[in-house]
Structure 1
Amino acid sequence: MSTTTPQTRSVIVEREIAHPPEKLWRALTQPHLIAEWLMRNDFVPSLGHRFKLHGDWGGVLDCEVLAIEPNRTLSYSWDLAHEEAAFSLKSVVTFTLSPTPKGTLLRMEQVGFRPDQKLAYGGARSGWPRFFDKLEELLAKAE
């Protein structure tokens, strides 16, 4: 007996950033730095740690660290429930850092968008490049 699940879509953003993986890793895992480029949070870089991301729009994401390999990979759940709009998103965000001659290739993949979640999918497609812009600004200031 086979079960079918609805196809989900992913958002992938890749950018080469002119900083070493170690510097980028700090920006991905230190709460005060995450707050500057992504959202306010209570993140701890520890497998299984549950934390919240607080969006400027008033939404709160429930997250859990799923994988962590220093300077290489960080993955966490990214769950949003919006009761008033009967909206929920259960997804996973994975950051992968690969050293390059010029710095680091940062790859972000967010998986789990259902076909009926066009608004959330569109928001992620437009939002992640803006988050990466803010991340690059933060790294440039920290030199």
Structure 2
Amino acid sequence: MKNGTLITKGNHVELRFERRLAHRPEKVWRALTESQELAHWFPARIEGAREVGAELRFFFAEGEPGKGKISVFDPPRVLEYTWEGDVLRWELEPEGTGCLLIFTTIPADRANVARDATGWHFCLDNLEAAVDGKPAAGFDKERFSALNAEYAARFGLGSFPAFMTSEANRVAEGALRIPGVEAYAFTGADGTELLLCHAKTDANTDEQWRDYDEYLAVLEGSYVLRINGMDMELRAGREFVVPRGARVSGRFSAGTRTIHAVSGRSLGRGGA
């Protein structure tokens, strides 16, 4: 299984990859730490001493260099350092004549995790090729796009982008009447209102009679819509139109993100 997995740990997530390599840890360690070997697969050039506490700089062809610091340096078993807020940890476990490489990263920004997973997936493919003595695969735009879409579908963003969650658009929790749900409202020139909801905990909405049509889309997680006495579970990627006159309530699972849209009605003051 070469694909990365996403694990929630407390208030952060961890992206994890496991690769079984047909080489001893000592050889793979050189690929992880020596500049001439890193050039075959790592996305940036790294400058800095290879020792605990050493400051690192990461260079691309253009732009300012990134910064980091080594926190664990235990040859040939564990290497851990930061890169612009992300924690990168490489572990090597002997397995017969080869080893198991475990790569984990704690991203500084949860919203970038699908993109990061795609990038690291390609880097690890090239690392495998490098230690096998094979040339790195060229950049395949179509494969990158397909893999990124796959990771995005599996992981979601985890939160709305920062430009959509300004304080000017935040809905007061008391006005929304759904404890545990963070919401942001946007109103169009024609009165159409869009409400973004992010459940920080499991949450329930009160039952209401709808005097307007409502469009509902689930971006991530699970939302149970109770409509006219019938429960309908909507998972990520599902959408639904609640018709005018329906009797509805809802139930969010923690982490769920939804979009609600209506015309001529303020969801931000009337509940979701």
The TM-score range, normalised by the shorter chain, is 0.7 to 0.9
* Aligned-residue offset at 1:25: 0.4
**Post-superposition CA distance 1:84-103 (Å, at most 9, x none):** xxxxxx12110000001241
CA distance in 2, matches of 1:17, 1:53: 26
2:127 aligns with 135
Please give the root-mean-square deviation of Cα atoms over the aligned residues, in Å.
Answer: 2.0
1:59-70 → structure 2 map (5 Å cutoff): 60-70=65-75
41, 45, 58: which one pairs with 1:53? 58
Rg comparison, structure with higher value: 2
Give the aligned residue type for 2:69: E
- 1:8 and 2:12 correspond: yes
Give the structure-1-normalised TM-score.
0.77
Higher normalized contact order (CA 8 Å, seq sep 6+, divided by chain length): 1
Say which structure is richer in helix: 1
Relative to structure 1, is the Cα distance of residues 18 and 91 closer, same or farther in structure 2, using a 3 angstrom cutoff?
Answer: same
1:103 aligns with 98
Give the structure-2-normalised TM-score.
0.42
Give the aligned residue type for 1:73: V
* Aligned-residue offset at 1:40: 1.2
8 Å Cα contact 1:75-1:93 kept in structure 2: yes
Give the 3-state SS of the residue equivalent to 1:141 in structure 2.
coil
2:29 aligns with 25
**Post-superposition CA distance 1:102-143 (Å, at most 9, x none):** 4110001101444xx41x21122111111111111111118x
Give the 3-state SS of the residue equivalent to 1:37 in structure 2.
coil
Structure 2 gap ranges (5+): 1-9, 135-272
CA distance in 1, matches of 2:12, 2:61: 27
Give the aligned residue type for 1:100: E
Q: How many residue pairs align between the two structures?
A: 124
Give the 3-state SS of the residue equivalent to 1:110 in structure 2.
strand
* Aligned-residue offset at 1:44: 2.6
Q: Displaced runs of 4+ in structure 1, greater than 6 A?
A: none
